[in-house]
Amino acid sequence: MKNLIISLLLTLSFITFQSHALWYQHTFDTMGTRAHLEFFLEEDSQFSNQSNLIITSIVEEMSRLDKAMSPYIESSELSLLNRQAGLREVVVSEELFSLLITADKISQMSDGAFDITYASIGYQYDYRNNIRPKQAIIDKALPAINYRSIQLNVKNSTVKFDNSAIKIDLGGIAKGYAIKRCIDILRAAGIKHALMSAGGDTALLGDRNGRDWLVGIKHPRTEQKNAVHIPLKDEAISTSGDYERYFIEDGTRYHHIINPKTGDSARKVVSVSVIGKDATVVDALSTTAFVKGLEEGMALINSLPGYEAMIIDNEQRLHFSIGLQQ
């Protein structure tokens, strides 16, 4: 009875505040992960229905990008590339082309630690069913991991792979790009305070109405627990962790972040979070620093103005980049 009264009161207060400034939230599944949207609306009414329109446009944008970039959707532009770019030049959308250019820049900057052709071997792992490629298969396929084998022709937005063994995957960068697009949509709709997250990637618009947002970084070994909370506003933060998709075989953890030099999972650290303005770059950099490990990963982030990192090493110690140390 008490619960019923409380829930009635909550419902009533929600209705009462419907026409005033209010926080709206929506959680949904997309791009193979859980997405979460929160935003503050100064005025909304049953008539303008702006909150619902905003939620719909965000859900649709995520779905649009999933349809373009998912490796699991046969008709996606990405799948088309993987089927055909080894054989001939393929024309792609401006949007995908520019994401491929960004990925290429991060590959160059990281000496190939970030490499979307990791998929040439990466697609042979199946973490749900504890399947990994045998060493002989990795050895044979390893030459197909090389971002330099992707030819990007800027003039006519075409993509060509050096050969048909090469496959690409945007799992390390696409969610960051998608949440960045969502923040652009929210800003264009006049929203001043919002949070958009997809899996381990979060982008913030403004603050939380006068206070910083507190973004939790998952504890790498204890589910449902956070290792730390970081106060942020107007920035993006991405976490790459070895606990997202993995299986353990004979004490070794096989997980979804692949060292392009070995074709095996990267195991120098367990979690990397990167903070910065550009959600796309932040997403790619967290994957990059994860592959590079503590020393090289941190050195890379410290060399980039406007980017910060927090790394959890194999002993579960926290390390912060220079700008986060105060």
Residues at the interface with Mg ion (CB under 5 A) = 172, 238, 240, 283, 286-287
Q: Under the criterion CB under 6 A, does residue 76 sit at the interface with ligand AMP? A: no
Please give the structure tokens belonging to residue 137: 């298969």
* Closest-approach residue to ligand AMP (CB): 171
In the complex, least distance from residue 285 CB atom to Mg ion, rounded to whole angstroms: 7
Check: CB of residue 86 under 8 Å from CB of residue 166: yes
Please give the structure tokens belonging to residue 42: 């100064």
Bridge partners of 228?
A: 217
For the segment 168-187, give every residue that binds ligand AMP (CB under 6 A).
169, 171-172
Q: Under the criterion CB under 6 A, does residue 125 sit at the interface with ligand AMP? A: no
Task: List the one residue from 65, 166, 291, 294 that touches ligand AMP (CB under 6 A).
Answer: 291
Check: CB of residue 271 under 8 Å from CB of residue 241: yes
31 or 41: whose CB is closer to ligand AMP?
31
CA nearest to 245, candidates 117, 132, 139, 100 = 132
CA distance 157 to 41: 39
Q: Under the criterion CB under 6 A, does residue 256 sit at the interface with ligand AMP? A: yes
In the complex, least distance from residue 52 CB atom to Mg ion, rounded to whole angstroms: 31
CA distance 29 to 221: 24
Q: CB under 5 to 8 A by kind: which of Mg ion, ligand AMP, none does 116 bind?
A: ligand AMP
CB atoms within 10 A of CB 127: 15
Q: CB under 5 to 8 A by kind: which of Mg ion, ligand AMP, none does 200 bind?
A: ligand AMP
Does residue 56 sit in helix, strand or coil? Answer: helix
CA distance 80 to 160: 12
Q: Under the criterion CB under 6 A, does residue 200 sit at the interface with ligand AMP? A: yes
In the complex, least distance from residue 241 CB atom to ligand AMP, rounded to whole angstroms: 7
Residue with tokens 């005025």, as numbered in its chain = 43
Count of residues touching ligand AMP (by CB under 6 A): 21
Rule CB under 6 A: which residues touch ligand AMP? 114-116, 118, 122, 169, 171-172, 200, 238, 240, 244, 256-258, 260, 283, 286-287, 290-291
